[in-house]
């Protein structure tokens, strides 16, 4: 599954904005595809905005999977509101809340400048979580500004969307800012 996702990503042009629609059961396949296959092959730094799962949990999973963190950076806007940011990680920058969209944008901009020797892919995990914490119109404006800014820097954007939590507003928002949508289907066992 991770190989199929990575292959689809390889076919996309630099600076693309992609919606990655999946069920919860495909989540770790998608992360592996991006962080362990796609980004290393393309020699990209991954800037991972997490508003669903604290960065510490994702880093723990990456360590178990033996995925090196050398070129993976986190902008974590969920740990502090979940009161789990006590243990800071050198590859994580913390934002107080998922409602602080301007601050999130500034942290991503900072990381892009910090990692300018390589290309970047920005992973947004997930549009559903951000939609819980933000007004839809403000969130839509945030995505337009962020994605256009990233395109101007030739950085790709990947926006995770959990299908079971989507609504019409989220789908419309993704359609407006994304060049393509990749639906991650569950593999049939049989």
Give residue 23's domain range. 2-8+18-183
Q: Give the tens place of pLDDT for each residue, 100-112.
A: 999 999 999 999 9
pLDDT score at 1: 80
CA angle 16, 20, 23 (to 5 degrees): 175
Regions of the chain where pLDDT drops below 70:
83-86, 186-190
Beta strands in 126-190 (DSSP E): 156-162, 180-183
Is 91 within a domain? yes
Is 13 within a domain? no
pLDDT score at 185: 78
Total domains, the chain:
1
Is 123 within a domain? yes
**Beta pairing partners, 74:** 48, 92
Which structure tokens are listed for 13?
Answer: 């042009």
Our CA dihedral for 148, 153, 158, 159, rounded to 10 degrees, sits at: -30
CATH number of the CATH domain containing 114:
3.40.50.300
Taking each helix axis as running N to C, give the angle between helix 101-114 and helix 136-152, from 0 to 180 degrees, rounded to the nearest 10. 10
Asked if 22 contacts 161 with a C-beta cutoff of 8 angstroms, the reply is: yes
Is 80 within a domain? yes
pLDDT score at 189: 46
pLDDT score at 187: 62
Neighbours of 165 (CB within 10 A): 15
Which structure tokens are listed for 18?
Answer: 């992609």
């Amino acid at each position: 599954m991770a190989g199929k996702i990575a292959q689809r990503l390889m076919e996309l042009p630099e600076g693309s904005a992609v919606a990655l629609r999946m069920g919860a059961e495909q989540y770790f396949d998608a992360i592996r595809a991006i962080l362990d296959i796609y980004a290393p092959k393309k020699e990209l730094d991954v800037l991972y905005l997490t508003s669903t799962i604290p960065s510490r949990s994702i880093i723990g999973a990456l360590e178990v999977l033996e995925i090196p963190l050398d070129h993976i950076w986190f902008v974590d806007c969920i740990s502090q509101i979940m009161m789990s940011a006590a243990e800071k990680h050198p590859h994580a920058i913390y934002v107080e809340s998922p409602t602080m969209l301007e601050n999130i944008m500034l942290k991503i901009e900072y990381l892009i400048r910090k990692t300018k020797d390589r290309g970047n892919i920005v992973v947004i995990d997930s549009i559903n979580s951000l939609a819980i914490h933000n007004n839809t119109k403000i969130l839509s404006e945030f995505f337009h500004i962020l994605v256009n800014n990233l395109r101007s820097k030739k950085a790709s954007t990947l926006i995770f969307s959990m299908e079971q939590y989507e609504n019409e507003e989220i789908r419309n928002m993704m359609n407006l800012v994304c060049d393509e949508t990749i639906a991650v289907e569950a593999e049939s066992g049989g």
